[in-house]
């Protein structure tokens, strides 16, 4: 997107700077004031100019916006609003400071350290709670949407310096009533985190997300990759065969009470898997609480881990966010963030239910869940 196409205002947001460019969308930093006059910032994702004339893509983008506007859970990334301004379609998202689980895992491996067992279990429990909210969600009339994320991976789990765990990128989500259907023979998601039923291309349900989260849990507690091979075909064959190494034989002191939880999440036969993400979350919470009783211990551990692995980055990200609103778009077309920030550019935009027409910014309801 050229500088001449950079918007000055989108809905209630004044555009401050461009902070990311991708093949499908451009992301801006926007600022707005609430009724009390307090300023807030957001990441504003805008369809790229060359795609605005492609009705199919625009529909997918608006479908994603609609899905995000319905999700209200502390462990899911939050949409602040969405709409159109002229011919530009946009989504306003909360801007968070921190790192993804993949970033954390990679940094720990590079430093020869471990994430332990309790913190990964606690993180995955938070993700599972968020997934259950999405899986159970109905539309405005109460009809189940049957949302399946389809891309639950370490790259899409964000850990904030505010001690939050956020699942994001519903760009590949599947749900009832979608306008853009995935073509036959196309598998959505990262190969190493696909469920056996996705590999076999049979109809899937929420248990595919549970399997993917089980892979993340196995990897975070063993500090190894589960399905890694020289070629995608070898990965596919390993998933189809259901070959999951016994973590208790790979990792010293692996908790006996954690392993059955991992095993159940990774059952090749989904009928033997956890039926709901809430069941998985509850088992993980019980495991953590039995080892670390008390409220707030894990939150503090999360913040400490980020500071240990990414020395000085909390301060740099905070300084960037304080400085950013003072920059004028005309002076600095692209404002480089000090580290990956969420949300920037998703891996895809193949989302779901038919949204209403959007003449202006639309804020999601304020009711908590």
pLDDT digits (tens, 9 = 90+) for 224-241: 999 988 888 999 999 999
Cβ atoms within 10 Å, residue 358: 18
CATH superfamily to which 98-305 belongs? Transferase(Phosphotransferase) domain 1 (1.10.510.10)
Q: Are strands 9-10 and 13-21 parallel, antiparallel or unpaired?
A: antiparallel
Query: What does the pLDDT read at residue 120?
Result: 97
* 129 half-sphere exposure, CB direction, 13 A CA radius: 19
Nearest to 95 by CA among 6, 29, 152, 146: 29
104 Cβ contact partners less than 8 Å away, ≥ 6 residues apart: 115, 159, 305, 306, 309
Q: Per-residue confidence at 364, pLDDT binned at 50, 70, 90?
A: very low
Q: Per-residue confidence at 157, pLDDT binned at 50, 70, 90?
A: very high
| 269 belongs to the catalytic site | no
Q: Per-residue confidence at 23, pLDDT binned at 50, 70, 90?
A: low
Is residue 254 pLDDT above 70, yes or no?
Answer: yes
Segments making up each domain of the chain, as ranges = 3-96+316-326, 98-305
Is residue 293 pLDDT above 80, yes or no?
Answer: no
pLDDT digits (tens, 9 = 90+) for 100-127: 999 999 999 999 999 999 999 999 999 9
Query: What does the pLDDT read at residue 34?
Result: 80
Counted residue by residue, the chain has a size of: 369
56 Cβ contact partners less than 8 Å away, ≥ 6 residues apart: 180
84 Cβ contact partners less than 8 Å away, ≥ 6 residues apart: 90, 358, 359, 360
Query: What does the pLDDT read at residue 339?
Result: 60
Is residue 314 pLDDT above 70, yes or no?
Answer: yes
Q: Do 3-96+316-326 and 98-305 show the same overall fold?
A: no
CATH superfamily to which 3-96+316-326 belongs? Phosphorylase Kinase; domain 1 (3.30.200.20)
Is residue 54 pLDDT above 70, yes or no?
Answer: yes
Catalytic residue among 103, 151, 169, 350: 151
Query: What does the pLDDT read at residue 126?
Result: 97
């Amino acid at each position: 997107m050229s500088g001449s196409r950079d918007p000055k205002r989108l809905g209630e947001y004044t555009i401050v700077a461009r902070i990311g460019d991708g093949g499908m969308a451009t992301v801006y930093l926007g600022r707005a004031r609430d009724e009390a006059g307090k300023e807030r910032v957001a990441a504003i994702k805008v369809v790229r100019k060359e795609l605005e004339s492609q009705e199919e893509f625009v529909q997918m983008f608006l479908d994603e916006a609609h899905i995000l506007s319905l999700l209200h859970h502390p462990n899911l990334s939050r949409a602040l609003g969405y709409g159109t301004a002229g011919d530009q379609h946009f989504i306003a998202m909360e801007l968070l400071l921190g790192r993804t689980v993949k970033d954390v895992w990679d940094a720990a491996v590079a430093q020869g350290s471990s994430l332990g067992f309790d913190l990964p279990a606690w993180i995955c429990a938070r993700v599972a709670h968020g997934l259950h909210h999405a899986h159970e969600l109905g539309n405005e009339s109460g009809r189940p949407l049957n949302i399946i994320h389809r891309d639950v991976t370490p790259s899409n789990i964000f850990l904030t310096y505010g001690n939050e765990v956020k699942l994001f990128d519903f760009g590949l989500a599947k749900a009832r009533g979608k306008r853009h259907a995935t073509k036959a023979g196309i598998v959505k998601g990262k190969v190493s985190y696909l469920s056996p039923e996705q590999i076999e291309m049979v109809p899937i349900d929420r248990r595919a997300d549970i399997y993917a989260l089980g892979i993340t849990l196995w990897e975070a507690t063993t500090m190894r990759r589960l399905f890694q091979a020289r070629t995608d075909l070898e990965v596919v064959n390993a998933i189809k065969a259901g070959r999951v190494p016994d973590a208790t034989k790979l990792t010293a002191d692996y908790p006996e009470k954690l392993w059955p939880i991992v095993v159940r999440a990774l059952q090749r036969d989904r009928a033997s898997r956890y039926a709901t993400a809430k069941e998985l979350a509850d088992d993980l919470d019980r495991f953590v609480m039995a080892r670390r009783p008390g409220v707030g211990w894990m939150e503090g551990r999360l913040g400490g881990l980020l500071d240990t692995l990414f020395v000085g980055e909390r301060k740099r990200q905070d300084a960037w966010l304080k400085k950013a609103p003072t920059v004028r778009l005309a002076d600095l077309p692209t404002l480089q963030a000090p580290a990956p920030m969420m949300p920037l550019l998703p891996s895809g935009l193949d989302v779901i239910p038919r949204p209403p027409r959007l003449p202006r910014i639309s804020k999601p309801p304020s009711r908590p869940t």
